[in-house]
Structure 1
Amino acid sequence: MKLWNKKSFYKNIRSLHRDLGYLFIGLTLIYAVSGILLVLKKNEQDPSYREIVMERNVKINLSADELKSCWDDFKDVPKLTHIIPAGKVYNIYVKGGIGEYDPYNGKIKLTTYKKIPVYKFVNDIHYNSGKRFSSIAMIYAIVLLFFAFSGAVMVKGKKGFKKRGVWLMILGFIIPLLMYFYA
């Protein structure tokens, strides 16, 4: 007696393909959304953070200590951590950002970064930050391989893999190769 006959093989493959498909819908959506965000990112800026630029005018020719003492007068700026002289300007380090003070014109320009929680979550998974998601990524990759092979054998006949699917699979290899070499 065979462990798997032809009919039960196809039935079991279809069932496993369907059930794993349902199980991995959430992870597929996370990888898809984060992939789209990574493609749409601008100037190598991490889409998990929103950049906020603030400008202030203060007195000219302030020393680092004087700048520190007047910092408390600002109501809507982040907490000051360091001021370091750097040539003609002062580099300003604040919680969640950086900036500079130009003592010749009295301008302070700060750039802070605010976390966007949903984007941060999906990008952490996609980037595998902290290597926390290595096991999930490996399991997902194996399941995707299973989907590719099980999807290829599930349909039989003139629309099956041997007649139609092999040509579409070859096309699936050719398109990225052409884009890699010619785009």
Structure 2
Amino acid sequence: MKAYKLRALHRDLGYFYVGLIISFAFSGILMNHRSSWHPDKYTLESEMIEVHLNTKGRELDESELKSLIKTLHIEDKFKRQLIRKGELRLAFENTEVAIDIKTGKGEIVKFIKTPIISQTMGLHKNTSNWWIYYSDIFGISLIVIAVTGTLLVTHGKHTFKKRGWKLALAGLIFPLLFLILVA
């Protein structure tokens, strides 16, 4: 392919996807830190609670769950329950409950979605068929942008053959080392 066609393809795909690239990058950065804070929601109200649980380390059955939700006066759409690190966790649409299984002490946190940030982060979580196909096309386009970018400079000391391959190799080795050593 001629250099001017590569430049045009690289430029046009870059222009077309610039908004999505920035959205994915921004929300990806936020998601990297979601274990220390919830960027897609913010707390409206927090309430300390104490209840009697008889779970014996298991998840609640349907009647126990309904009874606990009624006791806690939660009128929110239930999503799931989970036991993690000695805590019973209940997730609702706009409420989270964490209760220590041994002591029955816990907390109810009510929150709302953070405008724009929550929707942007949803790009990473969306699994609808049309979005999956669009994301696949986006992924292929990013590969094309990356490859055409390596082929744009064809003369001088900054070509891919002379210098770029070293940077590309370093950029590939770093995440591989991270995966091998840390993950």
For 2:176, the equivalent position in structure 1 comes to: 177
For 2:67, the equivalent position in structure 1 comes to: 84
Q: Paired residues, what number?
A: 143
Structure 2 counterparts to residues 5-84 of structure 1, below 5 A: 9-43=2-36, 46-55=38-47, 84=67
**Which 5+ residue runs of structure 1 have no aligned equivalent?**
58-81, 101-106
For 2:95, the equivalent position in structure 1 comes to: 97
- Structure (1 or 2) with the larger CA radius of gyration: 1
User: Per-residue deviation at 1:91?
Assistant: 3.6
Secondary structure of the 1:156 match is coil
CA distance in 2, matches of 1:114, 1:129: 22
- Decide whether aligned partners of structure 1 residues 112 and 129 sit closer, same or farther in structure 2, where only a CA change above 3 A counts: farther
Q: Which amino acid aligns with 1:52?
A: L
User: Per-residue deviation at 1:181?
Assistant: 2.4
Point out which structure has higher relative CO (alpha carbons under 8 A, 6+ apart): 2
Could you list the structure 1 runs, at least 4 aligned residues long, displaced by more than 4 angstroms after superposition. none
CA distance in 1, matches of 2:158, 2:150: 11
For 1:150, the equivalent position in structure 2 comes to: 148
CA distance in 1, matches of 2:6, 2:127: 34
- Decide whether aligned partners of structure 1 residues 22 and 112 sit closer, same or farther in structure 2, where only a CA change above 3 A counts: same
CA distance in 2, matches of 1:56, 1:124: 30
Question: What fraction of aligned residue pairs are identical, expressed as a percent?
Answer: 28
Contact 1:84 1:92 in 2 (8 A): no
Once the two structures are superposed, residues 146-173 of structure 1 have per-residue CA deviations (whole angstroms, 9 ceiling, x without a partner) of 0111111111132111111111111111
Q: Which amino acid aligns with 1:137?
A: S
Secondary structure of the 1:133 match is helix
TM-score between the two structures when normalised by the length of structure 1: 0.65
- Decide whether aligned partners of structure 1 residues 181 and 18 sit closer, same or farther in structure 2, where only a CA change above 3 A counts: same
Secondary structure of the 1:42 match is coil
Question: Does 136-145 or 157-166 show the bigger shift?
Answer: 157-166
The answer to whether structure 1 residue 124 and structure 2 residue 119 are counterparts is no
